[in-house]
Structure 1
Amino acid sequence: MKLLIIEDNESLLDSMKQFLQDEFEVEIATTGDDGLYMAQQDIYDIIILDVMLPEIDGFEILRHLRHDKIMTPVLFVTAKDSLEDRVKGLEIGGDDYIVKPFQADELKARIRASLRRSGSLTIDHTLRYRGIELFGKEKEINIDGKPLKLTIKQYELLEYLVQNSGHILTREQIFDRIWGFESDTTVAIVEVYIHHLRKKLEPFGYHKDIQNVRGIGYLLKEPTE
């Protein structure tokens, strides 16, 4: 699962990245402008958002995201502990609020709780779509009770499609999510991996569930025919 931390305290940022990257793929931003741009790509499972940031604060970032109909769960992390700030963060669309200093285990617990509420995570870290089960901790897949071997990128692609089943994902969203902004490849790689993933799913009859949306991207949905 992919997580974005927007935090300008580099020491705290490094610490959070260290203790979260064993469970999540972590990307970071140290300014409000950079964080807003990254968050607007709508490729993250959760955003850890500081309130006091250079250029644009966390509250304004969240307002932009919700205005753009980006409903990624947002967990505010801040030194501000007044009731007014906590209420403000939640009222404008935040999902939770944790006050500095905090323990790593509490932050992880709050992240998991927000992901469960959003439907992105089950207690046992399992994602399900029809007969497909993805076991997040082990990066293993069962289809109709039988194991399927995928590469890491193929697994991440299928995971992202399952998380967004019934919703169109653009090629750019898929590229940014799976390969990242700094990748030296191009968005054309998405079509290649979709082709390979369909081949892996074909023996189970699920290859037609990955549907082309002409000129836009892909949709994971049970075919009507």
Structure 2
Amino acid sequence: MKILIVEDSEVLRRSLVVGLNHLGFATDETGDGSEGLAMALQYEYDAIILDLMLPSIDGMSLLQKIRQQKINTRVLILSAKNQTQDRVDGLLKGADDYLTKPFSFDELHARILTLMRRSTTENRDDCLNVGEFCLNLAKRTFEYQHTPIELTPNEFKILNCLFRSPNRVISLESISDAVVGSYNYLSKNAIEVHISAIRRKVRKVHGNLPIRNKRGFGYLIQN
């Protein structure tokens, strides 16, 4: 699982990175609102930890902009603003949870796990579609025009990662995390081998899966 931390306090930000990495999460981090927005729009994250008082773009504006782009990544606001109306505003504008500073790291961890469970429950029966391709998360199947295509577990995980965020570049690191977890690493060459195998299988059923390699950045699937 990968988490984006957008927090202007360098001390707190580094503390969150160390703590979450120790628990097995992969993290990206920034202290700038504009950079955080660019990262949230470009890359795939399982959750975003978002401060409200940020330079360049404030956290609430960042939240509204990613929701306008139909990005449904779980967002946990982490803020010193502790009035009831602040929490209400954050939740109504698209946040999934709101935790006030100072906070317990154990509580933050518990809230992240709750958000992940909620996301898994909501997506359990989803069929992710790209064109005439369907990736069924419940049945763990992949079809093109209702013709089944057999995938290995790793191939399925790669497509799951790409299908969740069509038209967005998914970094090699994010793909590796999705396949083997944060404690292991899937090399660039290994990812290329898996994607080449997927393409061959799709061509056998006369399909054309629009996976594009953005050299130096990662992969995206066009929808």
TM-score by length of 1: 0.66
Q: CA deviation at 1:27?
A: 0.6
Pick one of 166, 170, 181 that aligns with 1:173. Answer: 170
Amino acid in structure 2 at the alignment position of 1:172: V
Unaligned regions of 5+ residues in structure 2, if any? Answer: 124-136, 142-149, 178-186, 214-219
Point out the more displaced range, 70-79 or 170-179.
170-179
Between the aligned partners of 1:111 and 1:208, the Cα distance in structure 2 is 41
Partner of 2:70: 69
Between the aligned partners of 1:14 and 1:99, the Cα distance in structure 2 is 18
CA contact (8 A) 1:211 1:218 kept: no
Partner of 2:49: 48
Q: CA deviation at 1:171?
A: 7.3
User: Do the aligned partners of residues 7 and 47 (structure 1) sit closer, same or farther apart at CA in structure 2, a change above 3 Å counting?
Assistant: same
- Equivalent positions of 1:143-182 (< 5 A) are 158-163=156-161, 165=163, 167=164, 169-170=166-167, 172-175=169-172, 177-178=174-175
Q: CA deviation at 1:108?
A: 0.7
Q: CA deviation at 1:34?
A: 0.8
Amino acid in structure 2 at the alignment position of 1:58: G
User: Do the aligned partners of residues 206 and 131 (structure 1) sit closer, same or farther apart at CA in structure 2, a change above 3 Å counting?
Assistant: farther
Between the aligned partners of 1:171 and 1:84, the Cα distance in structure 2 is 34
Identity %: 35
Partner of 1:79: 80
User: Is 1:130 the counterpart of 2:139 in the alignment?
Assistant: yes
Between the aligned partners of 1:120 and 1:31, the Cα distance in structure 2 is 32
CA contact (8 A) 2:43 2:168 kept: no
Unaligned regions of 5+ residues in structure 1, if any? Answer: 123-127, 133-142, 149-154, 181-188, 220-225
User: Do the aligned partners of residues 168 and 110 (structure 1) sit closer, same or farther apart at CA in structure 2, a change above 3 Å counting?
Assistant: closer
Using CA pairs under 8 Å that are at least 6 residues apart, name the structure with larger relative contact order, 1 or 2.
2
Partner of 1:196: 194
Per the alignment, in what secondary structure is the counterpart of residue 169 of structure 1?
coil
CA contact (8 A) 1:199 1:207 kept: no
Would you say how many aligned residue pairs link Structure 1 and Structure 2? Answer: 185
User: Do the aligned partners of residues 30 and 160 (structure 1) sit closer, same or farther apart at CA in structure 2, a change above 3 Å counting?
Assistant: farther
CA contact (8 A) 1:36 1:61 kept: yes
Amino acid in structure 1 at the alignment position of 2:30: A
RMSD across aligned positions (CA): 3.9
